[in-house]
Amino acid sequence: MAKEYVKSPMNYIGNKFRIIDQIQKWFPKDINTMVDLFCGGCDVTINTDAKNRYANDINYHLVEILEEFQKYSTDYILGYIDGRIDHWHLSKTDIEAYKAFRQYYNETKNPLDLYVLMCYSFNYQFRFNSNHEYNNPFGKNRSSFNKTMRENLIKSLDKLTDVHFTTSQFQDYDYDVLDTGDFLYADPPYLITCGSYNDGKRGFTGWGEKEERDLYGILDDLDNRGVNFALSNVIEHKGKTNTILKDWYKDRGYHLHNIKFDYNNSNYQARNKENVTKEILITNY
C-alpha cells in the first residue's frame, strides 16, 4: 500500500511536501538516528521514521511553535486556536481584526498566537522586522485556519511528540548525536534562488558562498565518519548554475538524483530554457 504522507500545518515556504515521495525513495531504510538540519515546517521530519529524530532550524520563532505543539494535548491546542479566532474575530476579510491581533502578538509574543496569526497572513510567511516584530501583511481572501489546516495540524501533532528540537546555526550544531550508519537530511536555503528566509534581513544571517562551502565541509566530515546524508538543492535556475555544488559532488563522487516538479507550466518551461529550474537530491550512499 502507498504510504500516506502528512502535510505540516505550517504551509512553510520552500517546504518539501510536494516532492516528499521522490526524496524519501532515496532515504536509507531502518534509520536509527535522523537529523533534519534545516527543518522549516518539518514536512520531512514528520514523514520519516527513525528511532531518534532531531530537527534544527535557526528560525526560533518557528521552532518555538513546534515545541508548544509538543507540550499540549490536541484538544487544548485546537481549543486555544478556536478561542483566539473567536475572541479577535479573525476571518479572511477583516484586515483590522488581523492588525489588532498582530499588534497584540508583538506585545505579548506567545508562540501559539504566532501560529494563529500566521494562518491569516499573506502566503503564511514568517516575516519579522529588525526589532523581531512580526510584520507579514494580511492574507486577504486567501489565508485562514481552514478545515485542511486543522486536519493537517491534528495529524502532525502525533508525529511531532518525540522530536528533539534545536535552533542552532548549522555551523554550531552538535553533530556528535550522529554515529556511523545514522542519517542527516539537509535542505538549506538555495544559493541561486531566493526565499524570504535567506536574504539576511529578518534578524537571521543570510545565505551566501561561505555558508554553501561551510555546509559542504560539514557533509564531507560526516561522510568521512560513515554517516549517511541526503542534500536537497537547486543546481540550475533561470539560466544560473550552482557551480560550487556541481564541482563538489563530482569531486567527492556523491550521487545526484533528479527531482521532477512542475513549478509553473511545464510545456512552456520546456520551450524556454531561461525558465528551467533543476531540483536535485545528492546522497553519499
Q: Contact residues for ligand SAM (CB under 6 A)? A: 12, 14-16, 38-41, 43-44, 57-59, 169-170, 187-189, 197-198, 205, 207
Residue 182 or 279 having the CB closest to ligand SAM: 279
**CA distance linking residue 70 with residue 64, whole number of Å:** 10
> E strands within 30-181?
31-36, 50-56, 164-166
* DSSP 8-state code for residue 189: P
- What contacts 24+ positions apart, CB below 8 Å, involve 171-177? 171/214, 171/218, 173/35, 173/37, 173/56, 175/35, 175/218, 175/221, 175/222, 175/227, 177/33, 177/35, 177/52, 177/54
For residue 70, the minimal CB distance to ligand SAM (Å) is: 17
CB of 228 to ligand SAM, least distance (A): 17
Please, what is the minimum distance in Å from the beta carbon of residue 249 to ligand SAM? 18
Rounded to an integer, what distance in angstroms lies between the CA atom of residue 226 and that of residue 181?
Answer: 6
Give whichever of 198 and 284 is closer to ligand SAM, judged by the CB atom.
198
Q: Least separation, in Å, of the C-beta of 41 and ligand SAM?
A: 4
Which lies closer to ligand SAM via its Cβ, residue 43 or residue 64? Answer: 43
- Are the CB atoms for 280 and 234 separated by under 8 Å? yes
In this chain, which residue has its C-beta nearest to ligand SAM?
Answer: 40
Nearest CB to ligand SAM, comparing residues 7 and 102:
7
Closer of 39 and 90 to ligand SAM (Cβ): 39
Task: Name the minimum Å distance from CB 39 to ligand SAM.
Answer: 6
Q: How far apart are the first and last CA of the chain?
A: 26
